[in-house]
């Protein structure tokens, strides 16, 4: 039995989960980055807005700086309800005009540089520890013009980070909630899809399990096109199994019948012999018994040889076999037996051919065909055995012909001659009806074709055509 491999379902789920987790972690991380940036930008704008409102209310009159800070500047800061705020307004000589006097890390260098460049002031953002808390500051310059004199003041506004942190956390948490929800919904959907996709396999399994061991009709399941080939293979295999099984059933029934009939004959002949008082007749009857028993032995031998062959098919790998040598040897083995029946065997053909095959089986096949030919040859007849090369559409094929000069086989019988235990109705020669079937089995095992032709003027030609394939070689 094949080793149990990892389940497709588990692999799919694992892969899907991995990909999902990766995507979600990525989404969360970007949400976190985005949340921080958004919170920072929004609250920086508030800070800047507040500084701008303060700047707008700083004016100069008679070389005196007037600062009348608007409530709205502080109301803007108060939008972050739980943050401390600090501010300071200074002149270019670092003197604090109003507000906190000890703000840290004021970027004077940059402010003075902006101031000296006489261009528009741009806000400078920075963070610093102040009164035990991290504070985000914005520093902004404002140019005060009066007559020809130019005075710059600097506005510094700072706020602690609670509100931005809270905002960032809120956005992140919303993202987390969304991503979690998304994750589970996607996972559920994918699990459903996986279940749905693998369902046909389950259906097939179910259909097969539910069948009785005898039922081999094709499975009728509605499956997607990807699974259809599998179902087709299963059905093909089952059809094969079915036909094999049927053949086996028929064979067993036939074999039993074939053995029972001679046994019954033997039985009655033996009974007759016991009852017979005439010694001469009894001798004759005993002779019959012996012949029947021989025939039976022959039949059983053939059956055994078939069983042996079936076993060999499964256990013996093919090896190179010299076909011409095997044929000659078989002819030699049979020549004496043929002469007893006053039939000659003639080997014609002078090619050498090697194929990949089972020598024992091939020999069995040859023996059966030639025996058959001898059996149906008239006295003084000749059985010709020939190995030759025939070109079929310019492909060279090795062809073996066994020609006899017997009565031949009618076209109707040609269809059945290879069936097990088939005996032509007008055949009076003794035989088991297995020999040719075995021969055909062997030929099929070697992918060879059988072909029956009529001989002239009378007789049968059995043609075995070996396929053109690797391991086959010949020389004329």
Partner 1 sequence: MKVSYLLGLGLILVSRMVFADAVRQDSYIAFPSLNKQPNHQEDVLAIYGAVNHQAIEPLFRAYQEKYPNVAIHYTESNTRHLYEQFISLPNVRPDVMLSPAMDLQFKLANDGYALAYNSPELVNVPKGAHWRNELFGFTYEPIVTAINSDILAGDVLPQSREQLLNLIRNKNYLLDDKMGLFNIEQSGLGYLTWAYDGQQSRSYGRLLEAFGRHQARLYTDTSSMLNALLKGQIFIAYNLVGAYSYQWSQKYAWIKTIMPTDYTTIIMRTAFIPRDAQQPTLAKRFIDLLLSPEGQHVLANQSGITPISTKVKGPYSRDELSKLPHGIFRPIPLGLELLIQTDDAKKQLIYHEWDNAMFAEPNNLSQ
Secondary structure letter of residue 406 according to DSSP: S
Contact 440, 422 (CB under 8 A): no
Question: Among all chains, which residue has been given the structure tokens 């020549």?
Answer: 335
Type and span of the H or E element at 140: strand 133-146
Q: Does 350 bind partner 1 (CB under 8 A)?
A: no
Q: Which residues pair with 344 in a beta bridge?
A: 382
Per CB under 8 A, 163 contacts partner 1: no
Distance CA(226)–CA(235), nearest Å, equals 15
**Which segment (29-37, 126-134, 335-343, 345-353) binds partner 1 by CB under 8 A?**
126-134
User: In the set 13, 27, 38, 99, which binds partner 1 (CB under 8 A)?
Assistant: 99
Of 84, 312, 363, 414, the one binding partner 1 by CB under 8 A: 84
Closest CA to 400 of 427, 356, 357, 362: 362
Closest CB to partner 1 among 48 and 360? 48
Distance in angstroms (rounded) separating the CA atoms of residues 356 and 469: 9
69 or 144: whose CB is closer to partner 1? Answer: 69
Beta bridge partners of 127: 136
Choose, by CB under 8 A, the member of 38, 59, 91, 98 that binds partner 1.
98
Residue 69 found at the interface with partner 1 (CB under 8 A): yes
Q: Is 77 near partner 1 (CB under 8 A)?
A: yes
What contacts 24+ positions apart, CB below 8 Å, involve 295-303? Answer: 295/262, 295/430, 295/432, 296/259, 296/262, 296/263, 296/266, 298/432, 299/258, 299/259, 299/262, 299/432, 299/434, 300/259, 302/432, 302/434, 302/435, 302/438, 303/255, 303/434
- Is 74 a binding residue for partner 1 by CB under 8 A? The answer is yes
| Residues paired with residue 141 on neighbouring β-strands, in sequence order | 154
Residue 68 binds partner 1, judged by CB under 8 A = yes
Tell me, residue by residue from 211 to 230, as one string, x for binding to partner 1 by CB under 8 A and - for no binding: --------------------
78 binds partner 1 (CB under 8 A): yes
Choosing from 5, 6, 81, 476, the residue that interacts with partner 1 (CB under 8 A) is 81
Considering the rule CB under 8 A, would residue 87 count as an interface residue with partner 1? yes
What is the CA angle 444-228-233, rounded to 5?
20
**With 0-12 CB in 10 A as exposed, 13-18 as middle and 19+ as buried, what is 153?**
buried
- Per CB under 8 A, 4 contacts partner 1: no
For the bound state, the minimum distance from the C-beta of residue 77 to partner 1, rounded and expressed in Å, comes to: 5
- In the complex, least distance from residue 54 CB atom to partner 1, rounded to whole angstroms: 10
Cβ distance to partner 1 smaller for residue 159 or 305: 159
Task: Pick the binder of partner 1 from 131, 247, 451, 469 (CB under 8 A).
Answer: 131
203 binds partner 1, rule: CB under 8 A: no
Binding status of residue 48 toward partner 1 by CB under 8 A:
no
Pick 99 or 107: Cβ nearer partner 1: 99
Which residue's CB is nearer to partner 1, number 22 or number 66?
66
Establish if 89 lies at the interface with partner 1 (CB under 8 A): yes
Quick check: 71 binds partner 1 (CB under 8 A)?
Answer: yes
Residue 473, SS3 per DSSP: strand
CA distance 251 to 438: 12
Q: Does 334 bind partner 1 (CB under 8 A)?
A: no
Report how far residue 371's alpha carbon sits from residue 340's, in angstroms, rounded to the nearest whole number: 13
Q: For residue 417, what are its two tokens?
A: 């001659």
Residue 166 interacts with partner 1 (CB under 8 A): yes or no = no
- Interacting residues with partner 1 (CB under 8 A): 66-71, 73-75, 77-78, 81-87, 89, 97-99, 131-133
């Amino acid at each position: 039995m094949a080793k149990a491999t990892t389940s497709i379902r588990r692999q799919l789920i694992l892969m899907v989960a991995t990909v999902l987790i990766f995507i979600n972690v990525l989404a969360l991380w970007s949400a976190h980055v985005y949340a921080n940036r958004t919170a920072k930008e929004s609250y920086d704008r508030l800070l800047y807005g507040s500084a701008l409102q303060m700047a707008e209310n700083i004016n100069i009159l008679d070389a005196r700086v007037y600062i009348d800070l608007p409530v709205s500047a502080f109301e803007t800061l108060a939008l972050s309800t739980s943050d401390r705020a600090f501010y300071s307004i200074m002149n270019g000589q670092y003197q604090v005009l109003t507000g906190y006097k000890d703000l840290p890390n004021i970027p004077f260098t940059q402010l003075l540089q902006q101031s000296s460049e006489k261009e528009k002031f741009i806000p400078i953002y920075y963070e610093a520890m102040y009164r035990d808390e991290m504070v985000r500051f914005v520093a902004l310059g404002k140019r005060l013009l009066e007559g020809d004199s130019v005075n710059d003041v600097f506005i510094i506004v700072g706020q602690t980070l609670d509100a931005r942190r809270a905002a960032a956390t809120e956005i992140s948490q919303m993202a987390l909630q969304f991503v979690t929800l998304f994750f589970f919904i996607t996972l559920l959907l994918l699990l459903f899809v996986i279940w749905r996709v693998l369902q046909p396999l389950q259906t097939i399994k179910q259909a097969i399990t539910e069948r009785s061991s005898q039922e081999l009709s094709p499975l009728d399941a509605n499956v997607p096109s990807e699974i259809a080939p599998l179902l087709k293979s299963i059905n093909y295999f089952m059809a094969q199994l079915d036909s094999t099984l049927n053949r086996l059933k028929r064979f067993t029934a036939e074999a039993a019948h074939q053995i029972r009939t001679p046994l019954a004959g033997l039985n009655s002949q033996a009974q007759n012999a016991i009852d017979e008082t005439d010694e001469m007749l009894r001798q004759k009857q005993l002779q019959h018994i012996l012949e029947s028993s021989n025939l039976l032995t022959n039949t059983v031998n053939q059956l055994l040889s078939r069983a042996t062959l079936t076993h060999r098919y499964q256990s013996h790998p093919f090896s190179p076999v010299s076909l011409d040598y095997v044929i000659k040897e078989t002819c030699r083995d049979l020549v004496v037996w043929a002469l007893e029946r006053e039939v000659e065997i003639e080997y014609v053909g002078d090619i050498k051919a090697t194929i990949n095959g089972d020598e024992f089986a091939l020999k069995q096949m040859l023996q059966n065909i030639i025996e058959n030919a001898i059996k149906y040859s008239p006295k003084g007849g000749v059985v010709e055995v020939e190995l030759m090369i025939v070109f079929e559409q310019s492909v060279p094929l090795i062809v073996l012909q066994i020609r006899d000069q017997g009565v031949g086989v009618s076209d109707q019988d040609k269809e059945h001659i290879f069936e097990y235990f088939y005996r032509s109705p007008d055949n009076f020669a003794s035989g088991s009806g297995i020999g040719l079937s075995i021969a055909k089995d062997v030929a099929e095992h070697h992918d060879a074709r059988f072909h029956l032709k009529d001989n002239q003027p009378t007789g049968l030609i059995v043609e075995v055509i070996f396929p053109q394939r690797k391991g086959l070689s010949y020389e004329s």
